Structure formats: structure tokens, C-alpha cells
Amino acid sequence: MKLAVIGTGYVGLVTGACFANLGNDIICVDKDKERLLILEKGEVPFYEPGLPEMVMRNHKAGRIIFTSDLSHAVKKADVIFIAVGTPPKANGQADVTAVFEVAKDIAKNIKGNKSFKVIVNKSTVPVGMGDIVTKILVENNVSEKYFSVVSNPEFLREGSAISDFLNPDRIVIGASNNKAFNIITELYRSLNARIIFTSVKSAELIKYASNAFLATKISFINEIANICERVGSDIKEVAYAVGMDKRIGREFLNAGLGYGGSCLPKDISALLHLARENGYDPQILNSVSEVNEFQIDAFIGKIIKTLKNIRGKKIVLLGLSFKPETDDLRDAPSLKIINSLTKKGAIIKAYDPAAETTAKKTLPNVQFCKDIYEALKGADAIVLATEWPEFRDLDFEKVKKIVKNPVIFDGRNIYDPKRIREMGFKYIGIGR
């Protein structure tokens, strides 16, 4: 099929590359000319394992092209994906300006067209956006006979985006008619995944509800971790056994620094806003968000309390990205830790396998190191902020010799406290 994908961010680019890889012809559209130049070279403007290779391969084969010419793309395409950003406004509401603009541009450019096109919203948008996009097209004299708006939320995670896209637990297609539903179903046919047909409005809410539930699981386990700390239980043991109950499930029960990233925090805020706007004050979601704030503040509090006067102390952060296998720093706990400690006069050094370039733009007062052990030299404390695999098996004998003060704050509970303590370190984890 011929597809246009508007927006070459995470969701847009992964969608484009994966559909191209399945044999479709993709035109990826973006207004950002610099980004297009990078993509033209076969490079990807962010870190995502496997994506550059997939983009390059399909670009060379002519199945994926990059352009700023939205008009050409939408005229050629049978299916048009809207995959632009919906960042949070200051009040938490999702900013849908980009979706509005794209809808207007599509309308202007397919006016008078006589072939049926499906417009698919992949961006995470407030419930009702599908109807608004339809209205924009109709107001611009595009006949409803020739288009239909579908909601097809994307559930991929950064760091495992390709595999998540190609092996989804379910594909949700929110459509108002069988014709549009069948076209999108056909597009996904080769994935052999479970397809769920819903109304457009349900599909829009499914995305928010899914992310809200994941965030709830994280805040829940963080709350239990905080109880563990006070009563002497170990959250790793508790979460493992709790998660063995099939009704609960093991995933998303890792206590830590709380959820960050480009989706969970923004989607919880947007859902809270959507609910309030519609006359309901959601109590669980409110608490989920509050526990998440508390979690990082409590961790920073532990660092300050343990190190006492931190002015002039050299604190080394292992990991900066909000999770492993990405260079994304959006809502990363490391940022809040660094800002709080820097304000109190600490000297921050950091090592991250992928996020150094992104981090340099926002963290001018941090000294970045190319090597873990170089970073740890003379450290007054080690703060593990991201559970990159290479931090799991550190040579602690060596670490002990090069640090000034053997203290580890393990924000992701990746180390065995007993073993670390036996090696002469002070260990402070979460809920243990």
C-alpha cells in the first residue's frame, strides 16, 4: 500500500520504517529540514537500537523516502498517518496544535480528490480528536464519501520500538465504518497480531488508560517499597511473589525512581486534565502522579541525609537517560537529581552509554566522562540513575580502590545489597 506518515519523531519514524520493511511504499513528511537531511543520509536523529539499519535498508530499496512536501505525500497515499507530537501545556493538557495544522494541510491538499483515503491518528490525542479532524476536513470541502478518520494508537516503548511494533500484544483500530477498518486491518495482516475493533473514541481512551495503568503499577510498587523500608521487608522479594499471581503479572513492578520519559508523565497529566474538563476529579490518577513526585524527592533526600554537607562533594551519576537503550532525557529522574544536588553545591560527573550528546545541551555544569571508571575516580558517592546493562557487573574491587568514599545510591535496585555491603560499600537502595 502507499502510505504517508506525517511526523518523523519516534512513533512516525518507527511506523514508517516498519511498514516499509513489510513491503509498503512510504513517504515520510516533516517540516524540520535539518531532520530530513539527517534521514536522507540514512541516519536517525535519536538513539533506537536497530532503527538506523532498518531505515537505511528500506531507503536504499526505495521503499521509504523523506520530504517536506506534504501535498505530494497525501495526494499519493491511500493511508495517511498523523504522527506529530502532542506535548503537554503548562496546565497538563495535551497541546494538539500540530494535529490541527496537519489536519488542515491534509484537507487543503486532498480537496477534490476522488479516491478513498484513510486518515489514521497515531498521535496520542484527547478523546474526541477523531471527530475534530473529520470536521476540519468537511469544513474544507472534502467529501466524507472519500475519507474516513481512524484512531490506531501506538504502544511501542523506546529502546525496543521495532520489536514492539512488529510483535504487539494487540492492535487497536478505532473506526466508524467497516471500509476504513478493513483497509487498516489489511495493512497489519502480516503481523498475525490480535486486532481489536472499537469506536474511534474508545481507541483514543485505550491509549491513555493503558499508560495510566502502567504508571499506576509503578506508583503502587513504589508505595509498597516505601512501606518495605519502614517495616524491614525487601521490595524485590515482595514484588516478585506478588507478580507471580497471574491476575497481577510481573511486569512494571520494579520499584525505583518513578516513571519518566516522553509518554507516561505527559499522558497521566493529559488524562487528569481530560477527566476534570469533563466534570470528574480522578482520585487514583492524582495519587499516582503524587507518588511519582514523592519517589524522586525521597531519593534525593536520602542522598542529602547520608552525605550530610554535600557542598563541594563529587557525586557520580551512572546513567542519565530516563531508561536504558535510549538517549531520551525527557522527564528523566537524573535531571531532577542533578539540579537538586547542584543547587546544594555538589560537583556532578556523569557517564551514560548513549545520552551524553543530548545531555550536554541541557546540563552545562556536568562533567561528562567517556569511561565508567574514569568517572568514578575520587567519587564521594555513586548514584545509579539508569539501569543500563553495563552497570550490572561493575568490577567493585576496582571501584572501591578508585572512589574516595564507597557509597552507592542504587535508584534502580540492580545490585545485591548484601554482596555490595560485604565488599565494604555503604548501600542505599529503594525499599530494601
Using the minimum distance from each CB to ligand UDX, give the nearer residue, 10 or 425.
Answer: 10
Is 40 annotated to bind ligand? no
Q: How far is the CB of 406 from ligand UDX (least distance, A)?
A: 26
Is 255 annotated to bind ligand? yes
Cα separations in angstroms, 303 against 52, 218, 299, 346: 39, 22, 7, 11
Q: How many Cβ atoms from other residues are within 10 Å of residue 93's Cβ?
A: 17
Q: How far is the CB of 252 from ligand UDX (least distance, A)?
A: 4
Is 187 annotated to bind ligand? no
* DSSP letters spanning 238-292: HHHHHHTSTTT-STT---SS---SSSHHHHHHHHHHHHHHTT---HHHHHHHHHH
Select which of 18, 28, 228, 263 is catalytic.
Answer: 263
What is the side-by-side order of every strand in the sheet holding 117-121?
Answer: 64-67, 25-29, 2-6, 79-82, 117-121, 147-151, 171-174, 195-198
In DSSP terms, 64 is beta-bridged to 26
In DSSP terms, 314 is beta-bridged to 347
Contacts (Cβ under 8 Å, ≥6 apart) of 201: 127, 128, 130, 131, 151, 174
263 is catalytic: yes
Q: How far is the CB of 20 from ligand UDX (least distance, A)?
A: 20
Using the minimum distance from each CB to ligand UDX, give the nearer residue, 130 or 324.
Answer: 324
Is 155 annotated to bind ligand? yes
Residues in the site for ligand UDX, rule: CB under 6 A? 154-158, 211, 214, 218, 252-254, 256, 259-261, 263-264, 322-323
Using the minimum distance from each CB to ligand UDX, give the nearer residue, 322 or 425.
Answer: 322
Is 15 annotated to bind ligand? no
The three cell numbers locating residue 179: 471500509
Q: How many Cβ atoms from other residues are within 10 Å of residue 53's Cβ?
A: 13
Residue with cell 539540579: 339
Q: Classify residue 357 by burial, with Cβ atoms within 10 Å: 0-12, 13-18, 19+.
A: exposed
Using the minimum distance from each CB to ligand UDX, give the nearer residue, 259 or 299.
Answer: 259
Using the minimum distance from each CB to ligand UDX, give the nearer residue, 107 or 414.
Answer: 414
Rounded CA-CA distance 283/114 in Å is 49
Is 330 annotated to bind ligand? yes
Q: How far is the CB of 154 from ligand UDX (least distance, A)?
A: 6
Is 220 annotated to bind ligand? no
Q: How far is the CB of 221 from ligand UDX (least distance, A)?
A: 7
Specify binding-site residues.
30, 35, 86, 124, 155-158, 207, 252-256, 260, 266, 323, 330
The residues annotated with a catalytic role in the active site are 263
